[in-house]
Copies of this chain bind each other. A is one copy, B any other.
Amino acid sequence: MKKKAVILLSGGLDSATCCAIAKSRGFDIYALTFDYHQRHRIEINSAKKIAKYFNAKEHRIIKIDSSILKGSSLTDNISVPKKSAKKTSQNNIPNTYVPARNTIFLSYALAYAEIINSSDIFIGVNAIDFSGYPDCRPKYISAFRRLAKLATKSALYGNPIRIHTPLINLSKAQIIKKGMTLGVDYSLTHSCYDPSPFGKPCGKCDSCILRKKGFLEAGIRDV
In the complex, the answer to whether B156 meets A111 with C-beta atoms within 8 Å is no
Residues of B within 8 A of A70 (CB): 115
Counting CB contacts under 8 A, is A107 at the interface?
yes
With known contacts A90-B157, A152-B99, A143–B147 Cβ distance under 8 A: yes
Write out, one digit per residue, whether chain A residues 85-114 have a CB within 8 A of any chain B CB (1) or not (0). 000011101000101111110111011101
Q: For the complex, count residues of A whose C-beta is within 8 A of B.
A: 45
A11-19, A60-68, A186-194: which lies at the interface: A60-68
Copies of this chain, complex-wide, total 2
A182 cross-chain contacts in B, Cβ below 8 A? none
A150 CB–B CB distance under 8 Å? yes
Taken together as a complex, chains A and B put the C-alpha atoms of A81 and B90 apart, in Å, by 51
**Residue among A69, A99, A143, A151 having the largest count of chain B Cβ atoms under 10 Å:** A151
Residue of B nearest to A60 (CB): B67
Indicate if A2 sits at the interface (CB-CB under 8 A). Answer: no
Query: Complex: how many Å from CA A60 to CA B64?
Result: 13
A103 touches B151 (CB 8 A): yes
Q: Is A23 an interface residue (CB 8 A)?
A: no
- The answer to whether A146 has its CB under 8 Å from any CB of chain B is yes
State whether the Cβ of A135 lies closer than 8 Å to any Cβ in chain B. Answer: yes
Q: Which residues from B are CB-within-8-Å of A135?
A: 150-152
Q: List 28 A-B contacts (CB under 8 A).
A: A60-B67, A60-B68, A63-B65, A68-B112, A71-B114, A90-B153, A90-B157, A91-B157, A93-B153, A93-B156, A97-B153, A99-B110, A99-B114, A103-B111, A103-B147, A104-B107, A104-B108, A104-B111, A134-B155, A134-B156, A135-B150, A135-B151, A139-B150, A140-B151, A143-B146, A143-B150, A143-B151, A146-B146
Known: A135-B150, A139-B150. 16 other contacts (CB 8 A): A60-B68, A62-B68, A68-B108, A68-B115, A70-B115, A90-B153, A99-B110, A100-B107, A103-B151, A104-B111, A134-B150, A135-B151, A140-B150, A143-B149, A144-B147, A146-B147
